[in-house]
Amino acid sequence: MRHPYPIREIARQAGLSEATVDRVLNARGGVRESTVMEVYQAIKDLDRQRTQVRIGGRTFMIDIVMQAPERFSTAVRDALEAELPSLHPAVVRSRFHFRETGPASEQIATMDKIAKRGSQGVILKAPDLPEVGAAVGRLVAAGIPVVTLVTDLPGSARMAYVGIDNRAAGATAAYLMGQWLGDRPGNVLTTISRGSFRGEEEREMGFRSTMRSAPAQRQLVEVTDSDGLDATQRDLVLEALKRDEDIVAVYSAGGGNTATLDAFDSLGRECAVFIAHDLDHDNTRLLRERRLSAVLHHDLRQDMRRACQTIMRAHKALPDEGPALPSAIQVVTPYNMPPGASPPAFGG
């Protein structure tokens, strides 16, 4: 095991003699396996303590720049603030730059202001457009690491992406849809907030590809460009339902689910299966009321913690680690909702 510590320091940490530590480190034998493990554990403990000293008392100012409906940006804010104690002894302060809709130029202007003003890092949810990627490049050139959240900008200079494998999530939704619809005829409505968000586009691609290989061939009817906002979503869904009377199910990659259900209700139409993403306030309520069949969820608190730690690693405040794996995709039903959500009533 490579390490930077003198034998005397390791021996003090392990409570062993320097001679014993020397025998272990140089593989001279004659030492019990349990003692060998004590030496290795002492080195790990020293690594961790050195990290704590390195980040102790440091303050990291992080900017969170997002285009998303208020219900999701609120969930992100709550997740970050809940995770702040776990980042101690470092102190993380955050500035939030949230917008629900608008041209990309507004978000780019915010990013350019941050580049001029300075920041320890940016957590970004933005559309995958060339001009947004160029703005990311300007941030990185100014020494500000960028971590993308939920939806990626793979062609940019961002440091890392934190979130689920969106294509796999869409394929999972298609698998569930096929199981629950079975042989029942009918088409499926797919909704995304805006096609320029790569994450939602990848979900839709995974869903479409898997549905295409299913035995039952169904037409997929797409609704987009609502920005996930209820006010625009309801009208778009109403138009789609009026055009196609065979729509019986929904896969929502981009939100606005209350409005989608309102559109079904206003026409007296049944939605047999409804699969959505993220346990925000609206989706938690709809799932509890059995208006949603399942929600594909990921631990947003864990994602925010990982995003902050990635920025801290960029500043050498934490040791490097291997490539990050995508966040786990959880299939949440009314019966396995996370702690804090009310259990469903039988027969509800």
**Helices 230-243/257-266 angle, 10° precision:** 40
Q: Are 194 and 227 in contact (CB under 8 A)?
A: yes
Model confidence at 13: pLDDT above 50: yes
Residue 1: pLDDT band (50, 70, 90) is low
118: helix, strand or coil = coil
- Identify the pLDDT of residue 236: 96
Residue 276 pLDDT > 50: yes
Residue range 69-128, pLDDT digits in tens: 888 999 998 999 889 888 877 788 888 889 999 999 999 999 999 999 889 999 999 999
> What is the DSSP code string of 44-109?
HHHHHHHHHHHHTT-EEEEEEEEE--HHHHHHHHHHHHHHGGGGTTSEEEEEEEEESS--HHHHHH
Do 166-297 and 51-163+301-324 have the same topology in CATH? yes
- pLDDT score of 343: 42
pTM (two decimals): 0.79
pLDDT reported for residue 309: 93
Place of tokens 């939605």: 271
- The pair of three-digit structure tokens given for residue 2, joined into one six-digit string: 């490579």
Instruction: Supply the DSSP string of 123-176, one letter for each residue.
Output: EEE----HHHHHHHHHHHHTT--EEEESS--TTS--SEEESB-HHHHHHHHHHH
**Per residue in 316-348, pLDDT tens?**
888 887 778 899 999 999 999 987 654 444 333
Return the CATH number of 166-297, one of 3.40.50.2300, 3.40.50.720, 3.40.50.1820, 3.10.105.10: 3.40.50.2300
State how far the Cα of 319 lies from the Cα of 247, in Å rounded to an integer: 52
Residue 51: what are its φ and ψ, rounded to 5°? -65, -45
Distance between CA 64 and CA 76 in Å, rounded? Answer: 9
Could you please state the CATH topology (level 3) that the domain comprising 51-163+301-324 is classified under: Rossmann fold (3.40.50)
Reported as half-sphere exposure (CB side, CA atoms, 13 A), residue 276 has a value of: 28
Mean pLDDT of 219-242: 94
User: Domain limits of the chain?
Assistant: 51-163+301-324, 166-297
Calpha distance 292→106 (Å, rounded): 34
Strands 91-99 and 273-277, how do they pair? unpaired
